[in-house]
Structure formats: C-alpha cells, structure tokens
Structure 1
C-alpha cells in the first residue's frame, strides 16, 4: 500500500532523516543490550533477572529497528517504482514530450496543406 493509498501524508525529507537518526540510536541500544548481556554472563554469578532485562531490551530494539527499516524500504521502493512522491515529475515530463510530438505533427500537416 502506498502513502497515497493509506491516506497518510508523505513524510518530508527532514522527517525521514530524523527517523533514520532514531534507527541509528536504536542500533546503539541493541549493541548496549547485547554488551550488557555478555557482561552479565561473564560474571562468576550472573543475575538471571539482569540477563532477562537485557535480552528483553535487545528484542524490543531489534523489532523497532526492523519495523522502521521496512517502512523506509517500502517508501524507497515506491519512489523507485515511479509512484507518486514528493517532487516526482516523470509523468509530467512524458506528457510534455508527447504534447511536443503532437505539436510537431500538427505543424508538419499544416505546412503540407498550405
């Protein structure tokens, strides 16, 4: 489903870049959670509760990153497919090219008729 079909406004470039920054922060959280888990496991007496907390945070952050990356990739797929998006002028360019060709044909026909 495209942004146009969903009825949602298309995100601006600034909003998309902000989302990518948020993804980067989540990736850092993933690394911290993984590091925390490994640190806890390396202790002589690891705390099961701490391991579970780190593992839970890890899974949540991975899920969030995955969902947001899928959203970003879907948007990019729509852009590459030529679907409506911000500053897409492909359709207008084709229409203008066709109109110019029609005008040349009309001029050619008129010049032959005169």
Structure 2
C-alpha cells in the first residue's frame, strides 16, 4: 500500500510540475509581449520551463516503464499473480498425471487378465 501511495504522490508532483512549466511559459510570453522585454527575464523563465519539462518527462517515463512491466506480466512488487498462476498450472499437471497413471493402471490390469 505504501508503494501505491508513493506512486500517487509522484504523479501529483508531476501534475504540479506541469502547472509550473505552464506558468513559466506564460511569464516568458508575457515578458516578450512587452514593448521593452527583459531578455534576462525571458531567458530565466525559458530555462525554468525547460528544466521543469525535463522533470515531467523523466517522471512520466518512469511511470510508463512501471506500467509496461505490470501489464506484460513481469514480476513486480506486491504482485502474487505469477505465484497463483504457477500453482494453478501445477494443479493441472498433477491432475493430468493422475489421470494418465490411472489409465495406464487400467490397461495393465486389462492385459494381465
């Protein structure tokens, strides 16, 4: 449960970063729209926008990678699906082996008579 809470917090942080990036872009555009824009201010806001956008991209890539692993059936923390599937398959193999042995026993008894 802690891992889920952590993932949700990370997604919330990414959402906050998107808002920050949009604000930086808006501030840069606002400064450019002035009669005498301050290039230092524009460069600062543009730099903030790019840095924040890189954080968003890295965070989303991390989550997409995680979701790819989960959706392809690879083992991941907190999952018992693989173990349950292995157990189910083992039970099927045991039942098949028992049925086959009973059939062989029946054929043996038939030939012995």
TM-score, normalised by the number of residues in structure 2: 0.80
Match of residue 79 from structure 1? 70
Asked if structure 1 preserves the Cα contact closer than 8 Å seen for 2:17 and 2:52, the reply is yes
1:96 and 1:56 map into 2 onto residues whose CA distance is: 54
In the alignment, the residues of structure 2 paired with residue 82 and residue 94 of structure 1 have an alpha-carbon distance, to the nearest angstrom, of 11
TM-score between the two structures when normalised by the length of structure 1? 0.79
1:64 matched to 2:80? The reply is no
Match of 1:21 among 12, 22, 39: 12
Query: For residue 92 of structure 1, what is the aligned residue in structure 2?
Result: 83
Map 1:43-58 → 2, pairs under 5 A: 43-58=34-49
Q: Does 1:103 align with 2:87?
A: no
5+ residue gaps, structure 1, are 1-10
Whether contact under 8 Å (2:24, 2:48) holds in the other structure is yes
Aligned to 1:113: 105
Bigger-Rg structure (1/2) = 2
Q: Which runs of 5+ in 2 are unaligned?
A: 107-113
Cα deviation, residue 89, structure 1:
2.8
Q: Greater relative contact order (Cα 8 A, min sep 6): structure 1 or 2?
A: 1
Q: Indicate the SS of the match to 2:77.
A: coil
- What is the aligned length? 104
Distance in structure 2 (CA, Å) of the matches to 1:60 and 1:101: 54
Larger helix fraction of residues: 2
